[in-house]
Amino acid sequence: MRVCSIVAALVAAAMIALPLGVALAETAAPNARDVAAVQDCLKSQRGRELKGERCIGVVVDPCLKRARSTADQNACADRELAVWDDILNETYRRLGKHLDEEQKDKAREMQRSWIETRDKTCTFYWDYFQGTMASPMSSYCNVRETARRAMFLKFFMDEAEGR
């Protein structure tokens, strides 16, 4: 009985730490080669198709072919997440320059709701699979959802900047 309590406590601690790890990964500075890979893709014909959707995974996917462990898989996802997170934050910052105060408040509320939804969505891999494979799936989910959000905000920024 005591072993079950200890295991349950360790699992709970890991679940609590997951969002903290994701938050830390999002603050890591992207490396220049990864930034160039994503930006080059976005400027290419492939990137223009589906408004950049085909560029999701341009860093992660080749990296995963060399990954030897779950930690390596998560590190691959973290690399691309850092790029998309920078794009998202810069896009949001630039968009904010074109919004009035009411729009800024609504955009802030919209972003907070999106963050909550992204976190719940990507954490569900843990809830469903409850094993080692959930970790890289959750990490890739964060990449995918952050990239999609960056492209969503880019639409409004491009509109505001007359593109």
Please give the sequence-ordered ranges of beta strands (E in DSSP) within 19-118, or none if there are none: none
The confidence score (pLDDT) of residue 145 equals 97
Per-residue pLDDT at 28: 67
62-74 pLDDT per residue, tens:
999 999 999 999 9
Return the ∠ at Cα 72 (arms to 66 and 77), rounded to 5°. Answer: 95
Yes or no: say if 153 and 84 are a contact pair by the CB < 8 Å rule.
no
pLDDT in tens, 89-128: 999 999 999 999 999 999 999 999 999 999 999 999 999 9
Long-range CB contact pairs, 38-43, < 8 A, 24+:
38/80, 38/83, 38/84, 38/87
For residues 25-47, give the mean pLDDT. 83
DSSP 8-class letter at 14: H
pTM of the complete model: 0.79
